[in-house]
Amino acid sequence: MKNVKCARCVRCGREYEARPDLTNCACGGILDIVYDYDCVKAALTKEKLAARAERTMWRYRELLPVEENTPDTPLRVGWSPLYEEPRLAELLGIKRLWVKDDGQNPTASLKDRASAMAVAKAWEAGAKTIACSSTGNAASSLAGNAAAAGLKTYIFVPDRAPKGKVAQLMMFGANVISVKGNYEETFKMSAEAIDKYGWYNRNAAINPYLSEGKKTVALEIAEQLGWEMPDYLAISVGDGCTIAGVWKGLKDLYAIGFIDRLPRLISAQSTGCCPINRAIQEGKDWEPMEENTIADSISVGVPRNADKALMAIRESNGLAICVTDEEILAAARLLGRTCGVFGEPAGVTGTAAVKKAVELGLIGREDTVVSVVTGNGLKDVANAIKAAGEPLHIEPDLELMVRGFADRGVTVE
């Protein structure tokens, strides 16, 4: 990889050769991929990019840690739409708002970006089997991307994972282990199995390439906005790999001169599980928390990528905003009704946090914001019905229809 110098530990600074099967530093710290930006600059210009027909995350190859001869992964990952939402901006009380609908990835979440990267690196490592533990979306995205690439998967999920995600896993032919325990216990079991059987490891914050895949969401947002950065970028946080990836992507673009300022990050977590936001708010290191929120994808009491996430939020002078489950469900309804975008609870937590930040007076009238919807609502139908309610259940009779709607304050006309 001409564009990559090495992998560097974010804790002790030790450097490693960027082999495809990298895990953590000997000190336990997470590694970060270090680029040769002169080399990237020489290879990539805005004009070159604009002329490129490929509409997947692989259009940013010069900024990705893959060998030149590694093929693109088969599923169409990335290049999700970025919608400007003037009506929602008005409703929230900010100047401009864009919604990046990353639920439109092939397995319906942003995790596809990391899983496609895992597949590419597993190919480079010559691996036949990939494994991970996940609250759900990393699992389903790995299962789908690996299936398309002809690789076998072993997947560990906590037994609370929503049915839609488990259905995806089974449909993609994964070997699924539903663990009677929380995410922490699930993660430990997967680590043990991976160690024992030598599978390629797709655990976030063990494998440093995953956040490089996730950073493509930021590269796309920047390109879709014509390289004009918003004031804020809001995203939900579980392990912290996504927000760290977003920050990495933005810093890459800054380093090669594609953007001239960096947005502040809004780190969105649930009040029921917010170890990272609590660390920011209290100005200290993180501590484990209970996992107590309907937003299952960010219900992470022991975040695996806290170091990189905290660094990203602090470096960006970001905001740490916690929202309740009710506020998450309300944001899901709001996005559905105003934008036609259907997000899962963790998917809409960023937007809930934008609303809350306005209410708290932290952002306002003059601010521009990008909110990333990280996962599709069809993954968790039970919570969608909880948020949006039941339809009118009636006999086939128009009179009953009119009366039924009248009871709900709707005039049929």
What is the H or E stretch that residue 385 is in? Answer: helix 381-388
Residue nearest ligand PLP (C-beta atom): 375
Give the nearer residue to Zn ion in terms of CB position, either 11 or 152.
11
Answer for which of 140, 236, 316, 368 binds ligand PLP (CB under 6 A) is 236
Map residues 187-226 to x or -, x wherever contact with ligand PLP holds by CB under 6 A: -----------------x----------------------
Assigned token pair, 412 = 């049929």
CA distance 94 to 364: 5
What is the H or E stretch that residue 34 is in? Answer: strand 31-35
Assigned token pair, 14 = 């030790």
29 binds Zn ion, rule: CB under 5 A: yes
Q: How far is the CB of 25 from Zn ion (least distance, A)?
A: 3
15 binds Zn ion, rule: CB under 5 A: no
The pair phi, psi for residue 135, each rounded to 5°, is -75, -5
Q: Tell me how many residues contact ligand PLP (CB under 6 A).
A: 19
**Residues of span 125-184 touching ligand PLP by CB under 6 A:** 137
Answer for which of 344, 363, 369, 377 binds ligand PLP (CB under 6 A) is 344
Sign of CA dihedral 101, 105, 108, 112: negative
Residues in the chain: 413
12 binds Zn ion, rule: CB under 5 A: yes
Strand partners, 200: 130
Answer for which of 117, 217, 237, 384 binds ligand PLP (CB under 6 A) is 237
How does strand 96-101 pair with strand 82-84? antiparallel
Of 12-20, 71-79, 196-204, 273-281: span binding Zn ion (CB under 5 A): 12-20
11 binds Zn ion, rule: CB under 5 A: yes
The entry of Zn ion, ligand PLP, none near residue 11 (CB within 5 to 8 angstroms by kind) is Zn ion
CA distance 187 to 195: 12
14 binds Zn ion, rule: CB under 5 A: yes
Map residues 294-333 to x or -, x wherever contact with ligand PLP holds by CB under 6 A: ---xx-----------------------------------
Answer for which of 124, 239, 291, 325 binds ligand PLP (CB under 6 A) is 239
101 binds ligand PLP, rule: CB under 6 A: no
Assigned token pair, 176 = 């699924």
Helix residue ranges per DSSP H, 126-240:
137-149, 163-171, 183-197, 210-214, 216-224
331 binds Zn ion, rule: CB under 5 A: no
Max alpha carbon distance in the chain (Å)?
74
Assess contact for 201 and 185: CB atoms under 8 A: no
Q: How far is the CB of 137 from ligand PLP (least distance, A)?
A: 3
